[in-house]
């Protein structure tokens, strides 16, 4: 497998280099040279295969001998060890539950696979690897859980102070060991900019072996394509023309859906559902890409003003026109999000989290305009991660899974940080 940068399509690197570097030197994003179509026979027989087998087959084709099959098989077994079930709300609306991993959000898929891949590629190195990751909420917890106690790898998580939920914060500040949390006095975009600057800083790179765990890392995207296959397999046989609706922030999840489609999964259409941070829906409507500062919403993991995977979406779709034909945009404000959560509870007795609710609103709107469409909404996190939003809206206490409840009593440990690259750099150098 070879990968190129979206900024210089003739410069190739190996999977190992792409995964360990995270970001190319030219500030583009790594993309696989070839996204191969899977055998039609395999797609036809998806229902015969368990999820890990599907994941293994998809990655075997995409990674094309970058990792020996025996090692890849073990790696997938360790990474894909929880389920991704679909639940029917009614005869035309399905929920794909992506929250059955350790941190209760879809990012567990990417983080676990990436941790496996990085420790595989890092095993013969003697210098420690430092992983930098900016989080708007869920990435941090997933990455922390995925890399916890991985030998030879240190993880530094930057998160915006006061802008993640209480339990999300606990997920990234209570593990300790090789995981360090920096509480940044700023926004997610500030955190992301600080991480980007670190990768481009010659000084730092001379001192440290740096790598990224954000959704910009190709190792995060690849496993996110697996569950589109897994969802498709579970749809009733005569409803496999369903469209997929993806509540989006940095657009890694949707980009992984485009990968799955390119690999031959017959996905008819996508909906990019966003909160008030509507840069992509606006682009789909107008053809103009206008990044903006992010606005804070109750679906905070999608508060992204300049989605980093947009370059990949353009790369995959080539033109605005193609993207318009492939993806519909949808955006809603916090009031509608609350209404969506309430409605799903009252109508279907299902508790949906604020991110999933944006997706639910999107398919409702789409199905009004396109009757007889079946739709799958990706439920990106478990509702209990957002109790401070969910309980007031539903005007009721909601049950919390045990593995989250235990966090409430653990002590938060975080290092306070200004939102400038200079202070981050200084800390990085003195802390090693």
Nearer residue to ligand PLP within complex by CB, 37 or 398: 398
**Strand 179-185 relative to strand 153-160, pairing:** parallel
> Which whole-number Å values give the CA distances from 99 to 69, 86, 169, 256, 385, in the listed order?
28, 11, 17, 17, 10
Q: Which of residues 362-391 bind ligand PLP (CB under 6 A)?
A: 380-381
- Measured from the CB atom, the residue of 142 and 242 that comes closer to ligand PLP is 142
Position among 3, 15, 302, 407 found at the interface with ligand PLP (CB under 6 A): 302
For the bound state, the minimum distance from the C-beta of residue 309 to ligand PLP, rounded and expressed in Å, comes to 7
Interaction residues for ligand PLP, span 121-140 (CB under 6 A)? 137-138
Q: Which of 31, 355, 404, 424 binds ligand PLP (CB under 6 A)?
A: 355
Q: Given the complex with ligand PLP, which of 301 and 341 has the nearer CB atom?
A: 301
At its nearest, how many Å lie between ligand PLP and the CB of residue 137? 6
Q: Is 375 helix (H, G, I), strand (E, B) or coil?
A: strand
Binding of residue 251 to ligand PLP (CB under 6 A): yes
Show Cβ contacts of residue 403 under 8 Å, excluding neighbours closer than 6 positions: 102, 104
**One character per residue 99-118, x = contact with ligand PLP (rule: CB under 6 A):** ------x-x-----------
- Tell me how far, at minimum, the Cβ of 43 lies from ligand PLP, in Å: 24
Q: Using the rule CB under 6 A, is 249 a contact of ligand PLP?
A: yes
The answer to whether 215 contacts ligand PLP (rule: CB under 6 A) is yes
Contact present, 249 and 378 (Cβ < 8 Å): no
Instruction: Draw the binding track, 29-48, toward ligand PLP (x: CB under 6 A; -: no contact).
Output: --------------------
187 contributes a contact to ligand PLP by CB under 6 A? no
Under the binding rule (CB under 6 A), the answer on residue 331 touching ligand PLP is no
Which one of the spans 34-42, 84-92, 173-181, 249-257 is the region binding ligand PLP (CB under 6 A)? Answer: 249-257
Distance in angstroms (rounded) separating the CA atoms of residues 370 and 90: 16
Contact range with ligand PLP by CB under 6 A, out of 31-39, 195-203, 241-249, 418-426: 241-249
424-431, long-range: CB < 8 A, 24+ apart: 424/158, 424/182, 424/194, 424/197, 424/198, 425/197, 425/198, 425/201, 425/203, 425/204, 427/182, 428/130, 428/156, 428/198, 428/204, 428/207, 428/208, 429/204, 429/207, 431/180
Q: Rounded to an integer, what distance in angstroms lies between the CA atom of residue 129 and that of residue 211?
A: 7
d(CA 281, CA 226): 25
Give least dist CB 228 to ligand PLP, A.
13
Minimum distance of ligand PLP from residue 301's CB (angstroms): 3
Note whether 61 binds ligand PLP by CB under 6 A. Answer: no
Residue 253 binding ligand PLP, by CB under 6 A: yes
Residue 178 or 380 with smaller CB distance to ligand PLP? 380
Alpha carbon distance 143, 202 (integer Å): 25
By the 8 A CB rule, do 350 and 87 touch? yes
Q: How far apart are CA 156 and CA 296, in angstroms?
A: 24
Query: Which range in 81-89, 118-126, 246-254, 408-416 contacts ligand PLP by CB under 6 A?
Result: 246-254
Rounded distance between C-alpha atoms, residue 376 and residue 228, angstroms: 10
CB 11, min distance to ligand PLP, A = 26
Tell me the backbone φ, ψ of residue 208, rounded to 5 degrees.
Answer: -125, 150
95 sits in the region (left: phi over 0; alpha: psi -120 to 50; else beta) called beta
User: Residue numbers of the site for ligand PLP (CB under 6 A)?
Assistant: 105, 107, 137-138, 215, 247-253, 301-302, 355, 380-381
């Amino acid at each position: 497998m070879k990968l190129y940068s979206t900024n210089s399509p003739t410069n190739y690197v190996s999977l190992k280099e792409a995964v360990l570097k995270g970001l190319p030197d030219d500030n583009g994003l790594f993309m696989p040279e070839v996204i191969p179509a899977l055998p039609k026979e395999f797609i036809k027989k998806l229902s015969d295969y368990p999820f890990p087998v599907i994941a293994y087959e998809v990655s075997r084709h995409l990674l094309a001998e970058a990792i020996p099959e025996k090692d890849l098989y073990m790696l997938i077994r360790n990474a894909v060890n929880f389920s991704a079930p679909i639940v029917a709300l009614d005869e035309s609306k399905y929920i794909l539950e992506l929250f059955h991993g350790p941190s209760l959000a879809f990012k567990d898929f990417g983080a676990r696979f990436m941790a496996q891949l990085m420790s595989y590629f890092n095993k013969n190195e003697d210098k420690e690897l430092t992983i930098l990751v900016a989080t708007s909420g869920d990435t941090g917890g997933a990455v922390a859980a995925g890399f916890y106690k991985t030998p030879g790898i240190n993880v530094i998580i930057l998160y915006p102070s006061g802008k993640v939920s209480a339990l999300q914060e606990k997920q990234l500040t209570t593990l300790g060991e090789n995981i360090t949390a920096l509480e940044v006095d700023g926004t997610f975009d500030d955190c992301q900019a600080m991480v980007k600057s670190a990768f481009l800083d010659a000084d730092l790179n001379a001192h440290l072996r740096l790598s990224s765990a954000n959704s910009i890392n190709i190792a995060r995207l690849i496993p996110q394509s697996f569950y589109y296959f897994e969802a498709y397999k579970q749809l009733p046989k005569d409803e496999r023309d369903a469209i997929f609706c993806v509540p989006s922030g940095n657009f890694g999840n949707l980009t992984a859906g485009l990968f799955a489609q390119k690999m031959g999964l017959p996905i008819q259409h996508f909906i990019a559902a966003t909160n008030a941070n509507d840069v992509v829906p606006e682009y789909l409507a107008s053809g103009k890409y206008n990044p903006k500062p992010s606005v804070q919403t109750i679906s905070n993991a999608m508060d992204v003003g300049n989605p980093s995977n947009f370059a990949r979406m353009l790369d995959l779709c080539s033109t605005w026109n193609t993207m318009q034909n492939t993806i519909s945009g949808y955006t809603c404000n916090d009031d509608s999000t609350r209404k969506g959560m309430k409605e799903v509870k009252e109508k279907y007795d299902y508790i949906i989290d604020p991110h999933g609710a944006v997706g639910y609103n999107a398919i409702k709107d789409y199905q009004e305009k396109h009757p007889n469409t079946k739709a799958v909404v990706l439920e990106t996190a478990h509702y209990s991660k957002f109790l401070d939003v969910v309980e007031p809206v539903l005007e009721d206490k909601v049950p919390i899974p045990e593995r989250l409840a235990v966090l409430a009593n653990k002590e938060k440990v975080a290092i306070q940080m200004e939102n400038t690259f200079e202070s981050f750099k200084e800390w990085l150098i003195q802390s090693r």
